[in-house]
Structure 1
Amino acid sequence: MTQLTIIVATDAKGGIGIDNTLPWRLPEDLAHFKRTTSGHPIIMGRKTYESIGRPLPNRRNIVVTRNADWRAEGVEAVPSLEAARALVQGGAEAFIIGGAQVYRQALPLADTVIRTEIAKSFECDAFFPELPAGEWQETARESHVSEAGLPYAFVTLRRVAR
């Protein structure tokens, strides 16, 4: 079974974006995202893809959309998260990269969450779902301060045995 890993950056209140953009500038997180997902399939919703504007290099880009006519060069479009998961069968780790709706659908299926926790609140209109208490255990934390002085941490959470 394909291992699903959620990768997300959140502000202090769980915010992940506003108007389909990131409300913060954190190059260190973008570099972490690139290092972590490079060489792996990435699964995202259509709005997330459109906010990026292009397929991300060195990754298999899979977009979940209810619009059966939607197409983009270099991207595989599928109607559901289950269809996306079926595309990457064979034990490969696939990363769920957003947005909020896809995160909500993926959370019950994921084994790992890699979360960049930004220690500041921003104006957001999209939020990461709350992790159910007792279902997740923090297994790693690396705390940093960005060049701009913004405190953040790379946090790995694993699902407690089901």
Structure 2
Amino acid sequence: MSKENTTGEQPGDFTEQLRASTTGLGLVWAQTSTGVIGQAGAMPWHLPEDMQHFSRLTTGHPVIMGRKTWESFPAKYRPLPGRTNIVITHQETWGGTPAAEGAIAVKSLDDALLESQFAPGHEMVWIVGGGEIFAQSMELADVAVITTIDAATEGDTFAPELGYDWTAGASLPAGGWLTADSGTRYRITLWRRAEG
């Protein structure tokens, strides 16, 4: 934990608070300070602390993603354990291939959202990527949980911009940064979209 985090709150405690205070449809991603979320189909950083946060936040709930995001996870982590994995793809036969094992394949975001309502933990559904799926779901989402990584990393995929109808809520730390074991600085922020 960073010396800059003076609250004494641990990332795991903060994630549990987020789990207890969010329902509906959520977006969750990590990005650099310049908005990079991916490079050549992968995350251009290694931050185990954020992966632990992501796992704690989404476990027990359906997760929706695009096929490329599914394929970006190492095979040993597919499907993401403890979650109903719903994958959006335009490839009609993909759902019957070995690459899709453990996933529910659907054709659209609408189909994914409908499928999620039959899954355990459906009171909170998480959109986990990639960029196109985030953009499609932005107007439907209630919350966004964003990890900002203090790194200058090149990328080819960028986070969507939250509009004026989004407001920052809880953040860890409240000011400054946490420092990972690797020395990388990061912070986690909960955003809420105004009901409109």
Matches within 5 A, 1:7-156: 7-52=28-73, 53=75, 54-71=78-95, 72-89=100-117, 92-132=123-163, 134-143=164-173, 144-156=178-190
Cα displacement (A) at 1:121: 1.9
Q: Distance in 2 between matches of 1:98 and 1:107?
A: 12
Identity of aligned residues (%): 42
User: After superposition, what is the alpha-carbon deviation per residue over 1:56-84, rounded to whole angstroms, capped at 9, x for unaligned?
Assistant: 11000000011111121111000001100
Q: Distance in 1 between matches of 2:172 and 2:107?
A: 36
Divergent runs of 4+, >3 A: none
2:193 to 156, 159, 162: 159
Q: Distance in 1 between matches of 2:54 and 2:160?
A: 19
Secondary structure of 1:97 counterpart: strand
Which has the larger share of helix? 2
Secondary structure of 1:16 counterpart: strand
Which has the larger share of strand? 1
Q: Distance in 1 between matches of 2:195 and 2:42?
A: 34
Counterpart AA for 1:6: L
Is residue 86–residue 116 contact of structure 2 (8 Å, CA) maintained in 1? Answer: no
Secondary structure of 2:94 counterpart: coil
> Structure 1 length as normaliser, TM-score?
0.95
> Structure 2 length as normaliser, TM-score?
0.79
Q: Distance in 2 between matches of 1:121 and 1:155?
A: 19
Counterpart AA for 2:37: I
How many pairs are equivalent?
Answer: 160
Return the index of the structure with the highest Cα Rg: 2
